[in-house]
Structure 1
Amino acid sequence: MKTKSLAFRQIEWWIVTLVFLIIILSNILSTGNSGNRSFDTHLLGYFSRIFIPLILFLVFYLLHMVLIPNYLKTKNKVKFILFCLLLAITSYTIVTLFAFGANITNSPFTLFYLKTMAIYLGYLVWVIFLQQLLSPPRMKDYQTYNAVRLGSIFFFLVLFFFQIDLLVHRGIAIISGFALPAILLVLVYNFFLIYNNRLAGKRKAANWFNITLLLLFPGAFIFIGLVEQEEVPLLIGLGIGLLIQLVIIPVSNLAFEKYFGMVGQIKNLSHKVEVGSANLSFLKSQINPHFLFNALNTLYGTALMEKAERTADGIQKLGDMMRFMIHENQQDKIPLKREIEYVNNYLDLQMLRFENEENLSVDFKLPSTECEGHIAPMLLIPFVENAFKHGISTKNKSWIKINLRCMKGTVHLDLVNSIHPKKITDDPKDESGIGLDNVRKRLEHYYPGKYSLSTISNESEYFVHFSLQLD
């Protein structure tokens, strides 16, 4: 309710459908008087009380669910105005014929139709005002907007009920006009004060709020019945109490549980999809293909200059890295020492590639002792790879400093690399190599609340500090 606007068009549709269903059914089942004015008892009078609400409901449907949504999509004002005028003239003519034929009104104008349309147009204008005043970015969230608009729906419904007492018995209009807002009030009261307290384990507070609810609604009628010694208010109070306790609260609680259960499932599935996408993109870009190509070329050149020793060592390290990517990288957690070995192999191969670069200074410190614990694979290498990718220039002075250390139950990485002007051919999407966003998603999935990752950059250097509490 806070993060987005409720689906008010659907809410309004179902509420208005329920209202007109009540009106039409009550008119079908009743005959004779309807409030202040008597209908003719002939057949036209009976069917007028059925068809006029049906016509009004059809007008609402065409306006609210067809014409306005189409206009919001197409922005075609001329077409929208023409259809609205055609609908208004046609419906007004039909309603007027029925009203005069049934002697519902003696005025040359069907005023209840015009008042009904005025209420609907007033509601639309009020909604636009609320959107401008109470929705983000003017407000921090949608909670106030949603609450006020829900209340506005029932306020305008009450106005509508008092304008159509010619079409429905006044008792039905009054009961419906006040019963629907009362039910909404009970639902809101239950959600915020009873349901949420029970959900938080505050059963005593929830029970007190439940007792207060009974004292406010049915208790008032029971008190009046006892004071006046009348049975009707007493029975109404008991009926309302039973309705609240046996129907409204249990059904609304079930609806709340179903709704939040579905929301939780959607969030869980969305999170899994995001993690899956992150892992998939991660697998596709674990090692820069250009690095592998350059590394193999370097090994080939080294093999030409010397007989076998360094070349064999380089090929062995590269093979170990490939095995790591194919096998261990598929696991959720691996020994921390294997992750550090992978980083070490990567650094050795990079140093083999850049050992003759006079403008490059690389200083890295890795743990001298074997680190204990387990870690999600490929969490450390993205920072190191990005440093080599963006911190090296063949023309300018470049430097990379890496300090990786592990303590009891934690691992820490501090990294500094030089920054150079971007090439025109650089892809903006590839600015961060494997991508810090990808790393953050994996950290949130595997280590929520157990890591610290901060990056700072200036004109010449890029700093990374990463700390992780291992399981």
Structure 2
Amino acid sequence: MKINIKDLSKIEFWTASIMYGFAIMMIISNGSTNHISTPYNFQEAKVSFSYLSNYFLPGLFKYSILYFSFLLLNFCCLPPLYQKKNTGINLSILFGVYLFSGLVLSIAQTYSQAYTLVKYDELDEAYNYIFFQGFTYAGWVVVLTAIYVALKKLIIYLMESKEEESNQKMKLEIAFASAFWFLGILVWVVIAVDFRVILAWTLVVGSCTFLTIYGIYYLIPNTIAQGKKFRNYLGKNMLLALIFCIPLGLIAAAITGDGEMFPIVNIFHLIAQLMISTPLAWYIYKTRNATEEQIFALKKELGKSDANLGFLKSQINPHFLFNALNTLYGTALQEKAERTGEGIQKLGDMMRFMLHENMQDKISLVRDIDYLNNYIELQKLRTSTTVDINIKTEIEEQLMDLKISPMLLIPFVENAFKHGISLQSPSHIKVTLQTKANMLYFDVNNSIHLKADGDPEKVNSGIGLENVKQRLSLLYPKKHELIIRESAKEFFVHLTLNLD
């Protein structure tokens, strides 16, 4: 499965832009109250507060530098670094982004956290602490963006790899879940939330990932195999979710040392399992199962088409040999041995074509036209002594290396000679072939002479044309146009074929 990198880049750009716009809107909406009253931290430190210089501008610069740093790292710097292209230049850009973003974040924090300056005996010590925080924050942004790009490349690799299908799908789902979890971490770090939020996010996403994959590959298949429906799966999955509550709550409480984390994590865990994980696993399984059934049906139909195509080819080859031998027999009964030798030579060329090139999927159009010309020349040998038979060909010389499926054109010409030639009545056949770019235009026009009731050709009339119609529909679907017209005295075929 190929990934459209341009579409993915557009999604990333607009997602990042929407998040950036949302952050700016939050600064403005929160500032509508902050500019009226001084924040508690500034009041406690007895430091004057300005809405513009201590809140709005620092926040604007902070989110702007994070937004543009992400765009530069994600689209311009990190991808070529992973591909080991222009390593020196891109490492310089990476280091420059880190220094510049660290500097901007540090300066912004000296204003937004001005209340911390009074806690230190010396101003230099306070600035050192704030700048250390700013550059550490910038370092985390670079590291987290690098991990995000690596996860994105891993997902693309898994989607395009030719590994065993079941293993590939499971790895892909784990990679998607990891990317989703990590994207959340990136957002939480940017907006500087409490560690307990990050821990709860990690535990809930991890449990959802496990139960979703367990549901797709074990729980749902067993439920369906037992003839049961979604309600049964929902009950089993929610029972597992309840069992998970104990270890999740204990882990959250033990790491934070806060007993209130036990119910908080479990509430979000149960809501996520009920609203997201359970229906998502069911949807993925049903959609994938339906797709696999469609693929199986298409493969089955394709197998039938291949078998049918092979059968049609086997029908055509003996028919041409039979006609050619009849032609040679008629020539031998006439007079000169040279004409018989010429006919045998052309028959040899035709037999070599059928034994070697006729079995290929595509051959050169030049070779197919050679076969066509040999057939017409053999028929001319048979009819050359009859004055009232006019056979005309306008077959354009081919200069382009076009390819065509073999034996598509000859049935129309064969049909023309079968039904258009009479040794007792005036007859005519005209064959025209020309190409423009990748388009082939082929016309056959012939007179019509009814066969006697006892003639076997009358019984087999139309078999060759029906075969070629089926082959065209199989080999050139929506790439050909076949027009057949018939009157009391004439038969006309026009074929337009896209050889691209």
TM-score, normalised on structure 1? 0.45
TM-score, normalised on structure 2? 0.43
Find the structure with the greater CA-based Rg.
Answer: 2
- Bigger helix fraction: 2
